[in-house]
Structure 1
């Protein structure tokens, strides 16, 4: 009973507000019984158990001054984001334990919570964290010494984002696994944070929130649910970022160029705060955001972003060209937002998106046999993905990946006071304890277009079984004990079967699916084949899969293999009416397209692939090929002489190049990122083999030499006397080249877009 108290408390509050129409089941009540999701859950369990809790705890012990039991992990856990995987790990342990009952998970969870409690006791003020030099950092914030940018706060890498993972992990340890000690540590940590920011003005807090901070507002809303103490709800509202919220309240799209996964957790917080306060405009803002991202910024498999940022809704060209496609963390959080909105508004469109993303992005983001999680999923034709490894990879998408495959049972079913809803067609069993009802779902969907539901209960009772009528189903047939039922519902709705159910009753649900071409949201000539909710793709090659399983390098999550020209992609040429009819069924969910075999994208691994296909008339094809060939040749020629580069204003490139700076700001204009400063900005470029001979700095404004000083390895460079947007400088051949750009004469520098190290 303890494991569901938080769940029940949360949604009792929502029901009393009159805003919630249904409730989820606890993970303990839903068990997977087969199929690809059960396989993914089992593979994730092995990965979770392959990690060492003492290594994940090391950053917290270091900060508290307690003896280590093992050295911390490397990779992101040793370069500034120390401790963030530990928070995700608590959540993964708790949810996987709730889903499977595996005792080793509970043992590890209880051990880690006890160790964190000891760190908290040693600190003596409620604080516990793994952030490097955390005590010094937080003291500066407490005193109002704040210098924040999109990912660096006082030159510390996303500290609020980091500690949010611990807040969430402690919450999940209590909610899903009933760990009472986790609740006490969480409340102590929350009280410390409330005291920390108490001296800060609202303006100063908004300045702090310029830096990525995860869903910190949501966790304080959760603390309010746990304690009914209004100070936490007030804090949740203070920690809601107005720079994103205000445009959403006005239904204004200001998302292009923003770091995508920075924004989505904020919106989850807005929605939760709305359910607790009655702020319907905040909930409408969350709905507007969801509609904008899911309908105009997401690709066929449900993911969004290019190089971690929202691309223009009118041009997905960058996304097609980049090897850094949609980030898995984004879909992790979009599913959380979709679930929250569905439970609040009972709109099946949220389930349609949830299902599409669950099957095609989340399921595909883990290697189905070896394990390992994917960061970027490129849609660039003939490219591939990289998988993490337990000892080398500590990226954000490893943290969310650990959680993704623990909770597949969270929304297969839901319920209202009397009705039972079947939302997804996944083999599983449900035990509705309060009603004495057990429901078994037997299905091989999507390889079979039907599911069978078997009702078992202690006594006959009346309730409505509500079966989702998916948007993609061309028709739906429902039989109860072999007798066809009259269906009045339409797609993206529920078919209600109200009767007095007795044990052994069987419900058979059949539906028809077909294959269609789904274009990119920008209206361009690129489209993906989708069968029902399943995105199809073709393996194209296994050549040059460099870094398929990641090493421990800072950017090990990014592919290093060759970029094949877009002109080599398979194209659909001719009459558009014939594109789909060219597919020849081979077997279940297998189609032949000339020399290509299309199959569910989640089955495609260890290979290059093509998911999106350009479509042309014959005349347009010849013209487009010539234009693309020239563009590709120019791009590849520049990359061929580039030793290293940094895109200024983008989070990962700046972190990877040891960004430092003061009084700087970043932005996005004319589809290009930039950073400028009233003091200085600096980066380190790696000159592999000492081949780089020139530094080329590109700005969006004129680089006036009298207003900008440039230092190369601490020596001031001679800059050209002419004005322009590009400066080219000679450099001495050293392994590491530090470029520092300093504002002069009290003026800001121009908007610096890119710095390249070139061989010629």
Structure 2
């Protein structure tokens, strides 16, 4: 059985992922308890903590430093949702790093939610009124109340699970009794109608609480929230996704995954595998690994007409990464890890501003696109909440255990600290020759390759007690071009490669493995418009820094006829840029995840220059014959 490592066992080392995590932590700490709780206080009528709806200074445009607006405005129907995201993110950060300051903040928030629950009569603990649920049941207009309350319950469950806070579990349990009564008041047909409107991630919460408590109330709620009108045709193979809102269904399927893990009932697993088949295998993705246009699933492999300003909603990226994690743990198949990697770089990193830490709700894939960044306190979109969670999950993606075998899944600089069969084991993953070196040592780096290496190179060091034997499996990504190499303790070593993994054994003491994964510039066409391509290096999508669509000339099957390395080196650091060559207009290309405020284009029409030359020669020959005739 494959399992995630405990969050506390994985520490990120300096690099892009650690830098993004720190940005995220700073943002979590910048938000005050009172402002995070503002809508819960309002709903509970705790007037001594209410802030006034008036400017905080003589400036009439000043609404108060830190007060929360956008989707968190007290007049908004999704008010209160963000606190749950914050609790989940903070709880995972505490579990991973032992952050004492965030731990104190989490404890304070839970205490205040207990207080709100008491003031609301002992059960209701949310930032919206109970009447919103009644409006949902009556078929009246209301914006996603189950989505909203799920976030608070999710936060409480994550605090209970990651921080061991029994108060959080008790608050969630008391709130769940309200839903048990409410759901039981409807016949099956009526409740199915309610679920067809929206369910949020409630199914996953009931499975989590069943696992944490063993209380049969949660089994009852689990079965009640089984959305048969979606799940049954899905299992039967019907296309229930085309043009359907994606992020209403992905959380439901994550709930089915959790239900299978808790109950062992096969039908839940069938829902999950059928969904992946329908959403990914037979539908395809953009070059980024993501999907959706205007928050809905595109038709299978028909993307050309769906590129616009609202591609790849971040919530879908995050939740599909979670689903891929589930399916890897169930199957051990490498493709799910490749999917995670592609979406980490071209979704989670690409949709976080690398200076401010703020979110881009969508990742536009139209020509001349620009990312639209959120603000610290003015927006609070759904993807705003998702992003703060996403950057506390990097540790969970790096490595797994399979009955004593360590699986290195993502090559993210990190240190793993494990106890295997009673033996202490430390594993360090570091970029080697291509490492980003900054600071005082930047001028002291080794010279290395003559030009930027066409490979990703990593040093993996394993240290353990003398008698420890640690089998290790290293993912060989699907983007690898050519044969990977493994230098074990200074000498080339033959490593068994099968099913997308290299297997070796650390026998005792210290083992150092240098891994070289060759890659090359690749083009990826749009399936229904194959003459339009994106350029990808390893798992990283490249963005052309141009404000419009330009036709490129060259061989699309050999993108080195179109692009060449650009500004490749500074000090001891290799830089990742490219530039166009032989084109009418010069374009620089940068990794999409490093693009901040520049306009960019990902997909370019390409005319095959070889075909053009052949056609020109044929025309010339034909014209010559005509003249002679």
TM-score (norm 1): 0.71
2:226 maps to: 240
Distance 1:280 1:478, change over 3 A: farther
State the match for 2:507 in structure 1: 500
Q: Distance in 2 between matches of 1:610 and 1:532?
A: 19
2:610 and 2:43 mapped to 1: Cα distance? 65
**1:91 matched residue in structure 2:** 88
| Residues 175-220 of structure 1, C-alpha deviations (whole Å, 9 max, x = no match) | 2222221111112222221122112222222111122332110110
How many Å apart are 1:383 and its aligned residue?
1.1
* CA apart distance, 1:291: 3.4
Q: Does 1:47 align with 2:33?
A: no
Taking the aligned partners of 2:134 and 2:521, their CA distance within structure 1 comes to 58
Matched, 1:395 2:397: no
Residue 70 of structure 2 corresponds to 75
C-alpha separation in 1, matches of 2:352 and 2:278: 27
* Conservation of the 8 A alpha-carbon contact between 1:247 and 1:254: yes
Q: For 2:408 and 2:554, locate their aligned partners in 1 and report how far apart those are by CA, in whole Å.
A: 42
1:176-325 map, 5 Å:
176-295=162-281, 296-320=283-307, 322-325=308-311
Structure 2: how far apart are the matches of 1:317 and 1:468? 32
The aligned residue for residue 478 of structure 1 is 486
The alpha-carbon deviation at position 268 of structure 1 amounts to 0.8
CA RMSD of aligned residues (A): 2.2
- 1:496-645 matches, within 5 Å, as 496-502=503-509, 504-541=510-547, 568-573=548-553, 575-586=555-566, 587=568, 588-594=575-581, 595-616=586-607
1:617: how far off? Answer: 5.5
Shift of 1:282: 3.1
CA separation in 2, counterparts of 1:420 and 1:617?
A: 46
Q: CA deviation at 1:584?
A: 1.3
- The 3 A distance-change label for structure 1 pair 33 and 281 is same
Task: Describe the shift of the 1:577–1:81 C-alpha distance in structure 2 as closer, same or farther (beyond 3 A).
Answer: closer
Equivalent residue, structure 1, for 2:496: 488
Does the residue aligned with 2:109 lie in a helix, a strand or coil? helix
For each residue in 1:56-86, what CA deviation from the matched residue of structure 2 results, as whole angstroms up to 9, or x when unmatched?
A: 2121122122225253622111211010001
Contact 1:352–1:470, Cα closer than 8 Å, also in 2: yes
State how far apart, in whole Å, the 2-side matches of 1:461 and 1:167 are.
Answer: 42
Task: Give the match's secondary structure for 1:171.
Answer: helix
| Unmatched runs of 5 consecutive residues or more in structure 1 | 1-20, 148-153, 542-567, 622-760
Partner of 2:443: none
CA distance in 2: counterparts of 1:394 and 1:363, whole angstroms: 18
- Residue 285 of structure 1: how far off its partner (Å): 2.9
Give the direction of change, closer, same or farther, for the CA distance of 1:289–1:527 in structure 2 (3 Å limit). Answer: farther
Where does the alignment leave 5 or more consecutive residues of structure 2 unmatched? 52-66, 437-454, 569-574, 613-629
**TM-score of the superposition, structure 2-length normalised?**
0.85
DSSP 3-state at the match of 1:406? coil
Structure 1 residue 488: Cα displacement: 3.3
More strand by share: 1
Report the Cα distance in structure 1 between the residues aligned to 2:344 and 2:557, rounded to whole angstroms: 30
Q: Deviations over 1:243-290 (max 9, x none)?
A: 321221012222111111111111111122223333334323312322
Cα displacement string for residues 113-138 of structure 1 (whole angstroms, at most 9, x for unaligned residues): 1110111122234221111xx13334
Corresponding position of 1:465: 472
Query: Is the 2:554–2:561 contact (alpha carbons within 8 Å) kept by the matching residues of 1?
Result: no
Alignment of 1:152-171 (within 5 A): 154-171=140-157
Tell me if structure 2 keeps the 8 A contact 1:170–1:183: yes
Deviation at 1:317, TM superposition (A): 3.2
CA contact (8 A) 1:464 1:498 kept: yes
Partner SS for 2:197: coil
Deviates more, 1:439-448 or 1:25-34: 439-448
Matched with 2:622 is none
Structure 2 CA distance for aligned equivalents of residues 507 and 578 of structure 1 = 32
Q: Is the CA contact 1:194–1:235 (under 8 Å) kept in the aligned structure 2?
A: yes
SS at match of 1:349: helix
Residues 146 and 207 in structure 1, CA contact (< 8 A), matched pair in contact too? no
Q: Which moved more, 1:235-244 or 1:382-391?
A: 235-244
| Aligned mates of 1:487, 1:458 — CA distance in 2 | 23
Of 60-69 and 399-408, more deviation after overlay is shown by 60-69
Aligned to 1:16: none
Helix, strand or coil at the partner of 2:412: coil
1:123 aligns with 2:130: no
Q: Does 1:436 align with 2:424?
A: yes
**Equivalent residues of 1:325, 1:377 under 8 A apart:** yes
CA distance in 1, matches of 2:605, 2:265: 45
Distance 1:446 1:489, change over 3 A: farther
Output one character per residue of 1:370-424: Cα deviation in whole Å (capped at 9) or x when no partner.
2211101110011101111112121101000111112211120111221111111
Cα 1:124/1:482, change in 2 over 3 Å: same
Give how far 1:238 is off: 1.9
Q: For 1:464-512, what per-residue CA distance to the aligned partner results, in whole angstroms no more than 9, with x for missing partners?
A: 111111111122222321233323324x52222135222x221221110
What is the rounded CA distance, in whole Å, between the counterparts of 2:366 and 2:132 in structure 1?
A: 41
Rounded Cα–Cα distance in structure 2 between residues aligned with 1:463 and 1:593: 46
Distance in 2 (CA, whole Å) between partners of 1:391 and 1:476 is: 47
Count of paired positions = 561
Output aligned runs, 1:379-390, within 5 Å. Answer: 379-390=365-376
CA distance in 2, matches of 1:201, 1:428: 52
> SS of the counterpart of 1:505?
strand
Q: Is the 8 A contact 1:248 1:286 kept in 2?
A: no
For residue 443 of structure 1, report the CA deviation from its aligned partner: 1.3
Q: CA deviation at 1:356?
A: 0.5
CA contact (8 A) 1:373 1:388 kept: yes
| Counterparts of 1:506 and 1:579, CA distance in 2 | 35
Question: How big is the shift at 1:446?
Answer: 8.2
Matched-pair contact (CA < 8 Å) for 1:298–1:521: no
Per the alignment, do residues 158 and 363 of structure 1 end up closer, same or farther by CA in structure 2, a change over 3 Å counting? same
- Corresponding residue number in structure 2 for 1:56: 36
* Residues 497 and 74 of structure 1: CA distance in aligned 2, closer, same or farther (over 3 Å): same
